[in-house]
Chains A and B, each alone.
Chain A
């Protein structure tokens, strides 16, 4: 039998042995070993799919870096659109351009011209348009935004790994300075103005360049930072191109997948984790998507996270991941301070009101 290069390939290289039969998600995910170790400190960013990993990560005993959690008394307040989900409160970052510009803003190398919108008494952050508790004045906006950008940079400094989930190639930008918004102005907040805002559908070269630029910026403050790239398996909710949303989705995901690959080749310390393939590949069961064929189910998330972190003992019975641990940071200090404050206040109020007695 003649020798040829395929003879030396392992079983995982053959569809018949690795997909058609004996499919093992962990084999897809890791070629040479685990992507994350117990000593890692992980920061994540990206599309909404990126937040799925956090509870699994923490259950695995790996530290998820959080630098912008609210003080204890405020932690039970609801938040919008996942701003509380990530290492800092940047919310979903759908495009590589947005990530790059966020880091540029942190380092004061980019100051967007259109950096705030006004709505009623509020000053809205165009880069976090859904924040539930926006500023009420320009001064407060500057303080809160400055604090946010410092928290992002601190997360980069503290992390050993950044996991970035690429979500979209389509985005909305400022015609003035190219500032890239997470959502089209006028949808969540702001007003769309065709003279100021334009649609962009980023190319492979642009996405690659933005990812490399973002990585270089991050490594300028943390030279040993590793990058794990993933592509979100969630299709576009809508396209602004003249394409059908299905072909627009395919273009978008293909571009992101190729750009991710190019970045892994261009820089050391960059790896790709195939969440996209695990959920969308022909081997994936129907049940990995909900009825709308867009929302990824808990079952799919469990398979992806199992591939990334390995089996975990005590997932909940309904197949959902472990608690996300967002409240686990409530320190004793906060609880004691609250209970003491409450006890003192209540005792004094009672005392003052009891000083008046009938017949006085």
Chain B
């Protein structure tokens, strides 16, 4: 472990890739000692000052800009926009059109919301918005020879989400206050969550293209045929985050992307 002020780098001793992010970066942290991460000499930046906000913390962000100098800078940005606003379904419900998303076009009771409206909802200058992501990528481009933006984990099937809600006393009590239970709380249907996740990935792809960064997408191999995260990549008791096995897949994706780019 290498200390650097109020942050530390976990992983390769002399890293060529330095990764920072919001909470989904922890899956990459959990797999930073595995072979795919070692292959690219990766390290993950973590806070040492008791702050648990990662990229939500300006000090962590500044430190990232410092340590990324001269190295490949990897970013795992948010990824929970759809969860944080829409995990619990609203009335009236809505849906977003994405080609090929199963069943999304077959619910006449839900209103169509244009993808552009959804994108606008996630723009703005708050710390977690798309505009802030683009600002970070542009700053990194001054310090780093290569900036990489990672895709974020796809939604989990409803049964895993409900199990996660039921396994956590905090969530159970939160729902109880609204006279709801984990088994019956209305959740935004999976196809709508997948559609929104796809929009988020497109936003990231566009942000990378606009700033000269490399976008590393989530591979189909971690999803079932409907687009949900496979069970083996899902830690128990969590509605959205993926585990170290998923992180290892993403490190391998990075390795392949850097390799093909070198070629």
For residue A66, give the distance in angstroms from its CB to the closest CB of chain B: 12
The one of A70, A132, A337 in contact with B86, judged by C-beta atoms closer than 8 angstroms, is: A337
**Contact A70/B240 with A333-B90, A349-B80, A353-B23 known, Cβ cut-off 8 Å:** no
Stretch with Cβ within 8 A of B (4 or more), from A16-24, A136-144, A231-239: A136-144
Do the beta carbons of B121 and A137 come within 8 Å of each other?
Answer: no
Interface presence of A350 (CB below 8 A)? yes
For the complex, what is the distance from the CA of A341 to the CA of B161, rounded to whole Å? 12
Residues 262-285 of A contacting B (Cβ, < 8 Å) = none
Interface presence of B263 (CB below 8 A)? no
For the complex, what is the distance from the CA of A306 to the CA of B114, rounded to whole Å? 38
Residues from chain A with a CB closer than 8 A to the CB of B38 are none
Interface presence of A338 (CB below 8 A)? yes
Residues from chain A with a CB closer than 8 A to the CB of B240 are 345, 348
Interface presence of A1 (CB below 8 A)? no
Residues from chain B with a CB closer than 8 A to the CB of A144 are 97, 112, 114
Interface presence of B88 (CB below 8 A)? yes
Do the beta carbons of B8 and A341 come within 8 Å of each other?
Answer: no
Do the beta carbons of B171 and A356 come within 8 Å of each other?
Answer: no
Do the beta carbons of B26 and A348 come within 8 Å of each other?
Answer: no
The one of B54, B85, B99, B185 in contact with A73, judged by C-beta atoms closer than 8 angstroms, is: B85
Do the beta carbons of B99 and A139 come within 8 Å of each other?
Answer: yes
Interface presence of A241 (CB below 8 A)? no
Do the beta carbons of B26 and A344 come within 8 Å of each other?
Answer: no
Do the beta carbons of A341 and B88 come within 8 Å of each other?
Answer: yes
Stretch with Cβ within 8 A of A (4 or more), from B45-53, B135-143, B222-230, B251-259: B45-53
Residues 107-144 of B contacting A (Cβ, < 8 Å) = 111-117, 120-121
> In the complex, which range does the number of interface residues on chain B fall in?
35 or more
**Contact A344/B114 with A71-B93, A77-B120 known, Cβ cut-off 8 Å:** no
How many residues on chain A are close to B (CB under 8 Å)? Answer: 42
Residues 327-360 of A contacting B (Cβ, < 8 Å) = 331, 333-334, 336-338, 340-356, 358
Name the residue of chain B whose CB is nearest to the CB of A345. Answer: B84
Residues 25-40 of B contacting A (Cβ, < 8 Å) = 26, 29
A-B interface, 5 closest residue pairs, ranked by CB to CB distance from nearest = A333-B91, A345-B84, A349-B23, A133-B117, A337-B90
The one of A137, A140, A334 in contact with B90, judged by C-beta atoms closer than 8 angstroms, is: A334
Do the beta carbons of B86 and A343 come within 8 Å of each other?
Answer: no
Interface Cβ pair total, 8 Å cutoff: 134
Interface presence of B201 (CB below 8 A)? no
**A-facing mask of B73-94, CB < 8 A → 1, else 0?**
0000000100111111111111
Residues 108-144 of A contacting B (Cβ, < 8 Å) = 122, 132-137, 139-140, 143-144
For residue B23, give the distance in angstroms from its CB to the closest CB of chain A: 4
For residue B119, give the distance in angstroms from its CB to the closest CB of chain A: 8
Do the beta carbons of B97 and A344 come within 8 Å of each other?
Answer: no
Interface presence of A213 (CB below 8 A)? no
Interface presence of B61 (CB below 8 A)? no
For residue B80, give the distance in angstroms from its CB to the closest CB of chain A: 5
For the complex, what is the distance from the CA of A349 to the CA of B88, rounded to whole Å? 17
Residues from chain B with a CB closer than 8 A to the CB of A136 are 114-116
Residues from chain B with a CB closer than 8 A to the CB of A132 are 116-117, 120
Residues 210-263 of B contacting A (Cβ, < 8 Å) = 238-241
Given contacts A341-B84, A348-B239, 4 further A-B contacts (CB under 8 A): A134-B116, A143-B97, A345-B83, A354-B52
Residues from chain A with a CB closer than 8 A to the CB of B93 are 71
Residues 160-206 of A contacting B (Cβ, < 8 Å) = none
Interface presence of B203 (CB below 8 A)? no
Interface presence of B65 (CB below 8 A)? no
- Which residue, A70, A132, A137, A349, has most C-beta atoms of chain B within 10 A? A349
The one of A70, A72, A350 in contact with B52, judged by C-beta atoms closer than 8 angstroms, is: A350
- Which residue, A144, A334, A352, has most C-beta atoms of chain B within 10 A? A352
For residue A333, give the distance in angstroms from its CB to the closest CB of chain B: 4
Do the beta carbons of A74 and B116 come within 8 Å of each other?
Answer: no
Name the residue of chain B whose CB is nearest to the CB of A342. Answer: B84
Do the beta carbons of B87 and A344 come within 8 Å of each other?
Answer: yes
Would you mind naming 30 contact pairs between A and B with Cβ atoms under 8 Å apart?
A: A70-B111, A70-B113, A71-B92, A71-B93, A74-B117, A74-B121, A77-B117, A77-B120, A133-B117, A134-B114, A135-B114, A136-B115, A136-B116, A144-B97, A147-B112, A333-B90, A334-B91, A337-B86, A337-B89, A340-B185, A341-B86, A341-B88, A344-B88, A344-B174, A344-B239, A347-B168, A348-B238, A350-B23, A353-B54, A356-B26
